[in-house]
């Protein structure tokens, strides 16, 4: 504890470093009884630029979406001598069906092989919509797959997701994507680990490559943790409730975060954990079907605390916030932990940014892609 305190104080001193964090918008921090309290800052006038980016107009509906149906299907899945019922809709993808099956069987989607003799190999294509396959309600299929013990480091054969979203995409306003969101809000109940705090903003954090290098190996997972994680969360917690959202299973999230000491840290609390089942598949005319993290799921369940105005999400994959682009900040991925853990300063700098914007009434008016420019601009202003 004493060691952590001294680390936090060191970190705060770094934040105070006039080079990194000029006095003209300085943050004074008192450290008392293990919790950072009492943040003051002077007014700093103009805040960055309001983004003019729009997600672009909805393109003409493609062949896939024209055949979409919202009809609910009840399917029977036989696995390991037992029968399971799953409910899906015609505009869900095969990947979504597998996630539903995972919910009841605990067999990871990538380990599932779905068999149904009338459909041949169509169930092997995760991107297909169920409405494109002649599935009928009450249909019985067989699943082959085994429950895999969760590992802290992802299996090497898992393909790496390449974030190729370098342009605005036309996804946010598609009606079919809005409908899916409504269903997900009903299906996924966020369990609070600690109560939401009135007046706090919300910080949503990805894990892999954001807080942790999940591709490297180490004797101790702490060697793969992004530097300054605990110190940054301690400081951010004074202004933000913190949720962690990862595209893996809840078991793996709890394992990772537990091993890193995030879940029982004396200096901050985690409000909630969200896993891959909270993600929503969205359709894009140009990118096909993929899963993303829609913050609307959180806003709908805690409307008295969180909204698009007070939420910010850090993720190394821009595609994850394609449905709420004004609330997402693309963090530089933390890879090759052994080579980079002595030099990576990303969380320190982002914590400065979080504090700098914490008093704003509407975070969604900022362009988070300019976050570094924002802090540099503050520096220049202080020099001038």
Q: Can you give the binding site for Mg ion, defined by CB under 5 A?
A: 206, 208-209, 316
Q: How far is the CB of 132 from Mg ion (least distance, A)?
A: 30
Q: How far is the CB of 206 from Mg ion (least distance, A)?
A: 4
Decide whether 267 or 330 has the Cβ nearer to Mg ion. 330
Decide whether 116 or 209 has the Cβ nearer to Mg ion. 209
- The interaxial angle of helices 346-357 and 229-237, nearest 10 deg, is 10
Decide whether 208 or 239 has the Cβ nearer to Mg ion. 208
Decide whether 206 or 344 has the Cβ nearer to Mg ion. 206
Q: How far is the CB of 91 from Mg ion (least distance, A)?
A: 26
How many whole angstroms separate alpha carbon 115 and alpha carbon 79?
11
Q: How far is the CB of 100 from Mg ion (least distance, A)?
A: 23
State the residue number with the nearest CB to Mg ion: 208
Decide whether 316 or 346 has the Cβ nearer to Mg ion. 316
Q: How far is the CB of 317 from Mg ion (least distance, A)?
A: 5
Q: How far is the CB of 355 from Mg ion (least distance, A)?
A: 23
How many whole angstroms separate alpha carbon 215 and alpha carbon 131?
36
Decide whether 246 or 326 has the Cβ nearer to Mg ion. 246
Q: How far is the CB of 315 from Mg ion (least distance, A)?
A: 6
Decide whether 239 or 346 has the Cβ nearer to Mg ion. 346
Q: How far is the CB of 314 from Mg ion (least distance, A)?
A: 9
Decide whether 245 or 374 has the Cβ nearer to Mg ion. 245
């Amino acid at each position: 504890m004493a060691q952590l305190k001294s680390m936090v104080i060191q970190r705060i001193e770094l934040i105070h470093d006039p080079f990194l964090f000029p006095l003209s918008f300085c943050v004074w921090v008192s450290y008392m009884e293990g919790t950072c309290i009492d943040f003051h800052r002077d007014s700093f006038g103009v805040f960055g630029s309001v983004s003019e980016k729009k997600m672009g107009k909805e393109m003409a509906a493609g062949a896939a979406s024209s055949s979409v149906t919202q009809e609910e299907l009840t399917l029977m899945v036989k696995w390991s001598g037992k029968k399971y019922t799953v409910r899906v809709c015609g505009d869900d993808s095969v990947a979504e069906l597998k996630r539903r099956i995972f919910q009841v069987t605990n067999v990871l989607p990538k380990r599932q092989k779905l068999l149904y003799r009338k459909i041949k190999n169509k169930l092997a294509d995760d991107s297909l919509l169920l409405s494109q396959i002649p599935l009928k309600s009450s249909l019985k299929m067989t699943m082959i797959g085994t429950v895999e013990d969760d590992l802290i480091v992802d299996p090497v054969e898992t393909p790496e997701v390449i974030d190729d979203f370098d342009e605005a995409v036309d996804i946010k306003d598609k009606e079919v994507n809005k409908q899916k969101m409504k269903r997900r809000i009903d299906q996924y109940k966020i369990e609070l680990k600690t109560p939401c705090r009135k007046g706090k903003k919300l910080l949503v954090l990805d894990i892999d490559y954001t807080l942790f290098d999940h591709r490297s190996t180490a004797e101790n997972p702490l060697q793969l943790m992004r530097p300054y994680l605990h110190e940054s969360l301690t400081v951010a917690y004074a202004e933000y409730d913190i949720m962690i959202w990862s595209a893996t299973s809840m078991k793996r999230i709890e394992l990772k975060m537990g091993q890193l000491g995030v879940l029982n840290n004396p200096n901050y609390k985690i409000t909630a954990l969200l896993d891959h089942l909270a993600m929503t598949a969205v359709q894009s005319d140009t990118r096909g079907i993929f899963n993303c993290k829609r913050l609307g799921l959180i806003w709908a369940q805690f409307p008295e605390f969180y909204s698009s105005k007070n939420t910010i999400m850090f993720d190394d994959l821009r595609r994850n916030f394609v449905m709420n682009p004004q609330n997402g900040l693309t963090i530089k991925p933390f890879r090759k932990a052994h080579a980079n853990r002595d030099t990576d300063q990303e969380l320190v700098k982002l914590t400065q940014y979080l504090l700098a914007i914490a008093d704003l009434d509407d975070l969604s008016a900022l362009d988070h892609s300019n976050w570094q420019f924002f802090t540099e601009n503050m520096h220049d202003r202080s020099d001038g």
